[in-house]
């Protein structure tokens, strides 16, 4: 009877609609399952860099403060990637003829940026402000991990929306004395200095830290 009421081409349309209705939930489940895998959230991502810069050497063994290279981290949304001139402050004298540092010397001579590969790279639809977090006294290692132990930098934290919201809901465990914001291993009781049991609560009260959890905070 339906063939006399509806055009014949609607039979084909009905087949596609049925396929969509049955297939959409399966596709959605598969998409969600992939979205939480390490590959999708880039956890463990460790790209090759144009120069084998070792944070374990510079930040760890030599104790260079994060802010020496990432100069804008306290006053801008983005943490600056150092120009070749910053590297040459030392390497005009230290290992100045090393073949491994040739890309640095060339970039410096040509006044060009070094083509570093970004490791911690949030999606374009996510707004993250380094200045807000550093000035609130969230330690660098909270998001970047023990960067001072990494010969080649990798993403050690998931950096997912849920991971960020958990911190915004309860920032106290991650807050520290602002003087130690770049200190690595600060959560280890064996380190000197190290976090005190009530330190986060004191910083939260003193700095009036109340991170927002509304969508527009990160999605602008």
Closest CA to 114 of 57, 69, 150: 69
* Per-residue pLDDT reduced to its tens digit, 125-158: 999 999 999 999 999 999 999 999 999 999 999 9
* Per-residue pLDDT reduced to its tens digit, 2-39: 455 667 777 777 777 777 777 767 756 655 555 555 55
Mean model confidence pLDDT for the chain: 89
Average of per-residue pLDDT across 162-167: 96
Q: Distances from the Cα of 54 to the Cαs of 51, 60, 86, 90, 147, in angstroms?
A: 9, 9, 15, 15, 9
* Per-residue pLDDT reduced to its tens digit, 63-74: 999 999 999 999
SS3 138: strand
Q: What is the dihedral of CA 42, 46, 49, 51, to 10 degrees?
A: 150
State residue 2's pLDDT score. 47
Any idea where the domains of the chain sit in the sequence? 2-35, 54-81+120-217, 83-115
Do residues 156 and 62 make contact, with C-beta atoms less than 8 angstroms apart?
Answer: no
| CA–CA gap between residue 118 and residue 163 (Å, rounded) | 20
Instruction: Indicate yes or no: pTM above 0.85.
Output: no
State residue 26's pLDDT score. 72
Q: Is the peptide bond before 149 cis (omega within 30 degrees of 0)?
A: no
Average of per-residue pLDDT across 192-218: 95
State residue 22's pLDDT score. 72
Closest CA to 167 of 98, 215, 132, 213: 213
Phi, psi of 175 (to 5 degrees): -80, 145
| CA–CA gap between residue 216 and residue 115 (Å, rounded) | 32
């Amino acid at each position: 009877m339906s063939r006399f009421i509806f055009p014949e081409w609607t039979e084909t349309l009905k087949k596609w609609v049925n396929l969509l209705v049955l297939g959409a939930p399966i596709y959605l489940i598969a998409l969600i399952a992939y979205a939480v895998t390490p590959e999708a959230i880039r956890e463990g991502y460790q790209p090759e860099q144009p120069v084998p810069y070792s944070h374990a050497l510079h930040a760890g063994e030599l104790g260079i403060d994060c802010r020496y290279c990432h100069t804008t981290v306290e006053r801008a949304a983005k943490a600056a990637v150092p120009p070749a001139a910053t590297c040459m402050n030392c390497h005009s004298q230290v290992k100045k003829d090393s073949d491994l540092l040739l890309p640095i010397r060339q970039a410096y001579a040509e006044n060009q940026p070094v083509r570093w590969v970004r490791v911690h790279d949030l999606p374009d639809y996510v707004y993250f402000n380094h200045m807000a977090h550093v000035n609130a006294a969230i330690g660098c290692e909270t998001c970047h991990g023990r960067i001072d132990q990494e010969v080649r930098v990798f993403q050690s934290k998931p950096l997912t929306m849920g991971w960020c919201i958990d911190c915004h809901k309860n920032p106290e465990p991650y807050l520290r004395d602002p003087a130690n914001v770049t200190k690595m291993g600060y959560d280890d009781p064996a380190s000197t200095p190290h976090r005190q049991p009530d330190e986060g609560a004191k910083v939260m009260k003193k700095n009036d830290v109340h991170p927002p959890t509304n969508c527009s905070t990160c999605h602008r």
